[in-house]
Chain A
């Protein structure tokens, strides 16, 4: 796609795909139960086995949803981390917008 970028809207383009490849690959692997068990048993070792950088490891371990996307994580992959360590979608959304959850529900989604 060409043309001006849409404000506040990162598209998952080649830069994101290249930058986030390892992080997304790790997250994708959590679609298999044996990998979920390995993640739960020793998260450090599991993340290291995918060659994640220290920054990426820290973002995953902190469940920093904003940070993971900033590092090239794509939400559809990293959502599998939220299946291991349950977080609701709107909390993850609020983290993207860097808003408090209640404010996010009201201001963005129009929830009363």
Chain B
């Protein structure tokens, strides 16, 4: 059966992609941010996963408000970067782990989830940036992907508890998938940021640091928090952190926190990552 080799949580701020595109990664503003990802990148290179499941939200690039899936799963052969207004970024297309995607869709529906199933769809920075942070900018990505979109834009967004439950089904799907492929799960988004309203520019470094410490082995409070709690503690867009719960729930109750990094602000966002392995 396929094996979960670990889970990572990471920010997916678009400015990170722009910094890479413009060659700004060594500038004083960005170097400390990118340097903190070196151990995570090394971990990924050592672990050699075959498939990355990437849990992220679209940012009004692929889905408009005419149809808003609460959860969507990609089952495409490949995914192109979407034009976010600047023209598509020069990152390679992402090859789809089609069979695992369909198997996951089967399991979701068996377990009473009702995802939108996407056969032809493009991906925005929410998937691109985490891949670049952990795999660099190769000519071809060394992994295939299973994209999972979570609506965090238009309310009602799903509850943190629902994201958690989805993570359990994800684990069941991977561990019943009849290949020996190695799978890494990437929960993305956050950390604290708010882009709209007069509280724009809200950052909560203390809550971010506590999250990065706690998501490993003190996750219950985050699983049990309300959406309002997320918005209050992490800002309106910081509520994206609920997507890390999908990753965390797919791991063992006890995990080892292998790597951890925090830097703020990346643009207007508290940014960082964790790398977790099952204990």
Contacts and interface: CB of A to CB of B under 8 A. Distances in A.
Interface of A: 1, 3, 6-14, 17, 21, 24-25, 27-28, 30-33, 36, 69, 74-77, 79-80, 82-84, 89-90, 92-94, 96-99, 104, 107-111
11 contacts: A11-B231, A12-B196, A27-B60, A31-B82, A32-B83, A74-B196, A89-B267, A92-B195, A94-B200, A98-B198, A109-B268
B195 A28 contact: no
A9 B236 contact: yes
A10 B200 CA distance: 10
B154 A30 contact: no
A8 B60 contact: no
Given A1-B228, A3-B228, A96-B196, A109 B203 contact: yes
A1 B15 CA distance: 30
A33 B87 contact: yes
Contacts of B154: 12-13, 17, 74
Contacts of B194: 9
Contacts of B61: 31, 76
Contact of B197 (A32, A96, A104, A108): A96
Nearest to A32: B83
Nearest to A98: B198
A7 B82 CA distance: 34
B164 interface: no
A1 B60 contact: no
Interface of B: 15, 59-61, 64-65, 82-87, 153-156, 194-203, 226-228, 231-232, 235-236, 264-265, 267-268
A79 B124 CA distance: 14
Given A12-B154, A74-B60, A77-B60, A96 B200 contact: yes
A68 B194 CA distance: 16
Contact of B236 (A11, A27, A30): A11
Secondary structure of the B contact surface, majority rule: loop
B60 A11 contact: no
A83 B60 CA distance: 14
A31 B80 CA distance: 14
B196 A79 contact: no
Contacts of B227: 1
Contacts of B231: 6, 9, 11
Contacts of B83: 31-33
Contacts of B153: 12, 74, 76
Nearest to A15: B155
B197 A90 contact: no
B253 to A, nearest CB: 29
B64 A97 contact: no
A107 B202 CA distance: 10
Contact of A110 (B87, B195, B203): B203
Nearest to A21: B65
A67 to B, nearest CB: 13
A109 B201 CA distance: 6
Nearest to B13: A89
A17 B65 CA distance: 7
Nearest to A25: B64
Nearest to B235: A9
A8 B198 contact: yes
A24 B155 contact: no
A104 B232 CA distance: 20
Contacts of A99: 201
